[in-house]
């Protein structure tokens, strides 16, 4: 039994020695590079928030929130904007409950109810048209909540592919400068978004009242482009 145990130990030692031979321990030669791709596009989805509030009209009393809501919805639809592009962001002093609203109005006749809408537009021209349709008395605030692009998913996929190609090109010319050639990729990290630069947000409601007196026309101002950037790290083998 001892001889068998000694023989097995000897063979295990031999296998260990074979596994540690220089040929098997030689590290694979690789090159690790990064690739980046970027794109600038004009947003075609502009989300503006409009805050509306009841107000007192001289000689006519309070203009209630229901009248303001109806006029606003009609104004938006008249611009060719579908009602599916309009959503309620919030209520104050109304809460979407007519019974609650009427009950509290009796207790507090001076209560001013407000409602906020989010409207999706396709370009800044539509935004200017909407500004012209707003009830100046009822409109308390008007601002751009966010911007996006309808083909963002496809554009980001395209950028990731371009980042991968940029990494391969970099690996080829760097390795080539040392007389080496690049083989297959060994490791690929998922391209990460390293920069999202939203365009400058401005309020057309301010442009409507500031800086352009009388019939002087305001200049046409479009949005600054959205800038997307993706970076990827790739390890290639060296042949």
Q: What is the pLDDT of residues 53-109, one digit of tens each?
A: 989 888 778 888 889 999 999 999 999 999 999 999 887 765 555 555 565 655 555
Check residue 27 and give its pLDDT.
Answer: 79
Q: What is the pLDDT of residues 24-47, one digit of tens each?
A: 456 789 999 999 999 999 899 999
Q: Is the pLDDT of residue 208 over 50?
A: no
Q: Report the alpha-carbon angle 93-98-100, nearest 5.
A: 60
Confidence band, pLDDT 50/70/90 cuts, at residue 112: confident
Measured CA to CA, the distance from residue 105 to residue 113 in angstroms comes to 9
Measured CA to CA, the distance from residue 213 to residue 200 in angstroms comes to 24
Domains of the chain by start residue, with CATH: 29-42+150-239 (3.30.110), 45-148 (3.30.70)
- Torsion (CA) 177, 178, 183, 187 in degrees, nearest 10: -90
Confidence band, pLDDT 50/70/90 cuts, at residue 209: very low
User: Which residues, including other chains, have CB under 8 Å from residue 4's CB and lie 6 or more apart?
Assistant: none
Check residue 195 and give its pLDDT.
Answer: 61
User: Which residues, including other chains, have CB under 8 Å from residue 40's CB and lie 6 or more apart?
Assistant: 225, 226, 227, 228
CA 81 to chain centre: 22
């Amino acid at each position: 039994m001892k001889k068998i145990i000694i023989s097995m130990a000897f063979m295990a030692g031999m296998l260990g020695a074979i596994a540690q031979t220089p040929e098997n321990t030689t590290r694979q030669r690789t090159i690790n590079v990064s690739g980046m791709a970027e794109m600038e596009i004009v947003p075609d989805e502009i989300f503006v928030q409009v805050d509306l509030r009841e107000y007192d009209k001289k000689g006519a009393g309070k203009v209630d929130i229901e009248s303001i809501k109806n006029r606003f919805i009609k104004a938006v639809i008249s611009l060719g904007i579908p009602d599916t592009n309009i959503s309620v962001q919030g209520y104050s002093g109304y809460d979407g409950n007519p019974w609650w609203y009427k009950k509290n109005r009796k207790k507090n006749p001076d209560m001013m109810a407000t409602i906020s809408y989010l409207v999706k537009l396709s370009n800044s021209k539509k935004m200017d048209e909407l500004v012209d349709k707003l009830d100046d008395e009822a409109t308390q605030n008007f601002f751009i909540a966010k911007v996006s692009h309808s083909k963002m998913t496809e554009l980001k996929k395209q950028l990731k592919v371009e980042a991968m190609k940029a990494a391969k090109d970099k690996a080829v010319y760097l390795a080539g400068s040392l007389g080496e050639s690049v083989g297959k990729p060994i490791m690929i990290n998922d391209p990460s978004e390293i920069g999202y630069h939203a365009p400058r947000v401005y309020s057309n409601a301010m442009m409507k009242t500031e800086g352009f007196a009388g019939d002087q026309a305001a200049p046409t101002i479009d949005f600054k482009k959205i800038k997307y950037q993706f970076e990827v790290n790739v390890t290639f083998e060296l042949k």
